[in-house]
Amino acid sequence: MGLLDSEAGKRRLLSVEIPAIEAYNDGRDPDYRIAVARVGGVLVLSYRLKPCQNVYRLETRLLSSFPIVPPETRILTPLKHCPHLLEGQTVCMWRQGSTRASSRWDPSQFTSVFAVLAAWRWLACYEVWHETGEWPLPEAK
């Protein structure tokens, strides 16, 4: 049951996700706003982030079972192989049962914009790792 094909999903989209994305975009440089496209039953958020020195292009996909399962975020800009990076440059941001609240996806507390902010945090860690070889955040447990 997805965001686009159920009443509950549409209500979530209209009352939670869309307002959160529009609030994120409000007053932001057009190059860094979130754009949303419908690809089949999936919503794809496309955006750029600049955590420190570099600009990265990203895609966050809200799958049919979102928000119950977390969104998937992929970095389109080529990266060096690094920790917490999965196949297809999908970033590892959520861990089931994590004791760190921000690493445990919670559909009752988080919106898709939280995933964008988590990606920003991940990229900031990547840039530190790129310079120092150390991932600055401890492993989620």
Partner 1 sequence: MNGNHASVSESTPDSRLQTHPMHVFQVGAGSGGIVVLDLVARDPRVTRVTLVEPDVYAPHNVHRHLFPASAVGGLKADLAAEWLRDRRPDLEVVAVVADLTDAARQEEFARLAAACDVGVCAVDNEPAKYAFDALMRAAGKPWTLGEVLSGGIGGWVHRFVPGGPCYGCVASHLQRTVTEEPTPPPPDYANPGGAVPETTIPAGRASISAVASLHAVATLELLPVRSLESGVRSPKSGTTIQNTITDSAPTPDSGPQTPDSTSILLALARVPGVFEEAFRTYRFRVAKSPGCLVCAAAPLPAGDLDVAVGEALDRLAPQ
Of residues 38 and 50, the one with the C-beta less far from partner 1: 38
Which one of 54, 76, 109, 131 is in contact with partner 1 (CB under 8 A)? 109
The whole-angstrom separation of Cα 87 and Cα 92 is 10
Which one of 75, 93, 105, 123 is in contact with partner 1 (CB under 8 A)? 105
Segment interacting with partner 1, rule: CB under 8 A, options 15-23, 49-57, 79-87, 127-135? 15-23
Query: For the chain, how many helices (H) and strands (E)?
Result: 3, 4
Which one of 28, 38, 50, 57 is in contact with partner 1 (CB under 8 A)? 38
CB of 26 to partner 1, least distance (A): 12
Residue type, 138: P
Please count the CA atoms within 13 angstroms of the CA of 15 that sit on its side-chain side: 6
Cross-strand bridge partners of residue 42: 39
Residues 74-103 contacting partner 1, CB under 8 A: 94, 96-97
The whole-angstrom separation of Cα 125 and Cα 136 is 6
Is 29 one of the binding residues for partner 1 (CB under 8 A)? no
DSSP H/E element including 130: helix 112-132
Which one of 27, 30, 88, 133 is in contact with partner 1 (CB under 8 A)? 30
3-state SS assignment for residue 131: helix
Please count the CA atoms within 13 angstroms of the CA of 100 that sit on its side-chain side: 11
Give the residues lining the site for partner 1 (CB under 8 A): 1-2, 4-8, 10-16, 18-19, 21-22, 25, 30, 34-38, 43, 46, 65, 67-70, 94, 96-97, 104-111
